[in-house]
Chain A
């Protein structure tokens, strides 16, 4: 019994101290938006977050993946790479595409700015990511692609 307890204890300590990672590679299709946000949300649930925190992560991931589908690959074929890690109480998520890239990142991140001409896009994707995560960083190169890295402390 004592030995069992000790092993249990070691296990808990290890899972708290060692960062955990996951990666998900998906085709750039709109139906994968839900798949991606649900997978990251399940991974993030290891932090024992509140329901509101899980919803925040889902929304932010959905925004980044939707951007990759619509803008990165312009609705065409491509691969989206999603990496997430947990370190202590912090979740880090990176959504990367090898699409067209963003020529002017500050402009793209302005609330209400959109290149869409249908009038259906709100231009609030990045604003939503910033509203629901603690930190959002965007790296992009025209013709090479875009990587959005978001961080959020949650649970505990």
Chain B
């Protein structure tokens, strides 16, 4: 009933994670397990977070992004963000993620960047 699952897209060595409309604790319960599985089974050099559908995020989202960032850092990979609206950009700034992950306006730019 209205359960949100994440949509994952593999683009070569890039994993694109399409985030839900409401990126909160409830909607991210399965994200850790699912991405850990994907990262274990695939050679991923970059994770791209798609915020184009997202209208709400709280510190749960920050925790998840920071954890993935550290994970990619350890394996020499990178992370990027695209499609974030003004409110999401504010949350990213307050949460200290804005300066860690480059932000792009389009998916193409994020994949290339």
Contact = CB atoms under 8 A, between A and B. Distances in A.
Interface in A105-135: 118-125, 127-128, 131-132
Interface string B76-94: 0000000000010011001
A153 B96 CA distance: 25
Contacts of B87: 51-52, 55
Interface stretch (A4-12, A62-70, A140-148): A62-70
Contacts of B67: 119-120
Contact-residue bracket for chain A? 20 to 34
A120 B95 CA distance: 14
Most buried by A among B26, B59, B63, B66: B59
Nearest to A65: B25
Contact of A128 (B59, B64, B66, B70): B59
Given A55-B87, A66-B58, A124-B59, 16 more contacts: A30-B26, A34-B24, A52-B90, A59-B56, A59-B58, A66-B24, A119-B70, A120-B32, A120-B64, A121-B60, A122-B62, A123-B63, A127-B59, A127-B94, A128-B59, A128-B95
A34 B58 contact: no
Interface of B: 22, 24-26, 29, 32, 56, 58-60, 62-64, 66-67, 70, 87, 90-91, 94-95
Contacts of B63: 120-124
15 contacts: A30-B25, A34-B22, A52-B87, A55-B90, A58-B56, A59-B58, A62-B24, A62-B56, A63-B58, A119-B67, A120-B63, A122-B66, A124-B62, A127-B59, A128-B58
Contacts of A70: 25
A54 to B, nearest CB: 10
A37 B56 CA distance: 11
Nearest to A129: B59
Say whether chain B's binding surface is mostly helix, strand, loop, or mixed.
helix
A31 B29 CA distance: 11
Say whether chain A's binding surface is mostly helix, strand, loop, or mixed.
helix
Nearest to A69: B25
A30 B24 CA distance: 9
A33 interface: yes
Contacts of A128: 58-59, 94-95
A70 B29 CA distance: 12
Contacts of A125: 59
Interface string A24-51: 0000001101100100000000000001
